[in-house]
Each structure stands twice: as structure tokens, then as C-alpha cells.
Structure 1
Amino acid sequence: MMQATWKGQLLAQSDRTVVVEGNHYFPPESIRPEYFKASETTTFCGWKGDCKYYHLSVDGQTNPDAAWYYPEPYPRAEHIKGHLAFWKGVEVKEQ
């Protein structure tokens, strides 16, 4: 079971993450939505497509653009559609 935590709060937990380029992508139903706020930030990956971000908010502290996902990935990345990955101090580890 993989868990993503930040500031002591569990953000996501799943035994069905997908690993791409060393990042665990969590299925959308595994996240705790109360910690996620949509960001205006977008980026582009040449083989995955357009990427969107979430800010994380825990106990009044914000971690900007600390989670990302591909809402409509290219066919080669279809297996991570809507899944979320983390960075910027979010701890992702097996429990």
C-alpha cells in the first residue's frame, strides 16, 4: 500500500498506483479531496500531453502546485489518465 503524506496528513493511499518515470501516480478515488485546490498552472510533456496541478492545503499551510495529473493524456500515457503524482516535499512511501 502506497501513501502520500504532507505535514503529517494523509493525502492519498492506494495499492494500485502506477509508476511512471519514478513517480507513483495515485488513482483519483484514492485522494482525500479536502486537501486539494485547483491551480491555474499547466505544463506540457511531449509523450504524456497537457498537465494540470493542484495546490495542497494542510492546517492553513499551502504547498503550491505540489500534485499533478494528466486529464487527457496521449495514448502512450492513457494508463495514468486522471491519476495524481506528488513532489515538493510530499512523502510517498510504502506502508
Structure 2
Amino acid sequence: MKAVLNDVVIAEAPESELIKIEGNWYFPPASVKAEYLSASDTPYTCPWKGDCQYFDVSDGGAALQDRAWSYPEIHASAIDRVGRDFSNYVAFWKEVQILP
């Protein structure tokens, strides 16, 4: 699967390596092209996942603020709930298309 912004592939991995949580596909960290993300200072804590790290996403042009996120240190109960460790996996908001 691919995460695509304006024809630029931001992340790519086989579906078997992704994790779907609450309707969002989370890509493994190694599958994400870091040059298209920059860490944001926007704070957020999910009550069941933990502290969130937001990222601005760019296709090489203008950046879209807080359109990607991950959980660097997730709660142990979240791993139990999902069935896999998804620490540092990255999900994307609607402007970034998720394609097969």
C-alpha cells in the first residue's frame, strides 16, 4: 500500500506490514520517507494509546500541518488492544491518499 500526496509517494509497504486502527492505516517506520515529514510541536495525548507525535507532510512544496502522526511510546494496554506493537508507526490524514 502507498501513502500519496500529489503523486509523491510518502510511504509504501505491503498491506500485511500495516496496522489498521480506528479506520487509519499505520505504516511501519522504515516504510516512511522521512524527507517528506517534519516534526510538529502540536501536543496531543490519546487516552488509550499515549502521547502523540504529529508531523507536517510535504510533497516537496507547501507543507500540510499535522497531517501525519505516530505514537513513539505507546501504553502496554494499547499493544494488547491492537494485538501488535505499533510504536513509531505513522498514519496520515485525509489529504494523503492511501492506495492499494
* TM-score, normalised relative to structure 2: 0.87
Are 2:36 and 2:60, in contact at CA under 8 Å, matched by a contact in 1?
no
Matched letter for residue 57 of structure 2 = L
Q: Distance in 1 between matches of 2:97 and 2:77?
A: 27
Secondary structure of the 1:89 match is coil
Are 1:63 and 1:88, in contact at CA under 8 Å, matched by a contact in 2?
no
Aligned residues with identical type, % of pairs:
40
Name 1:38's counterpart in structure 2: 39
Post-superposition offset of 1:61: 1.1
Instruction: Encode CA deviations 1:50-87: one digit per residue, 9 max, x unaligned.
Output: 10111012232111101000000101224210100000
1:85 has 2:91 as partner = yes
Post-superposition offset of 1:7: 1.3
1:58 has 2:59 as partner = yes
Name 2:82's counterpart in structure 1: none
* TM-score, normalised relative to structure 1: 0.92
- The count of aligned residue pairs is 93
Q: What stretches of structure 2 of length at least 5 have no aligned partner?
A: 80-84
Q: Which is worse superposed, 71-80 or 44-53?
A: 71-80
Q: Distance in 2 between matches of 1:80 and 1:9?
A: 24
Matched letter for residue 89 of structure 1 = E
Runs of 4+ aligned structure 1 residues displaced above 2 Å come to none
Q: Distance in 2 between matches of 1:40 and 1:13?
A: 25
Over aligned residues, Cα RMSD in angstroms? Answer: 1.0
Q: What stretches of structure 1 of length at least 5 have no aligned partner?
A: none
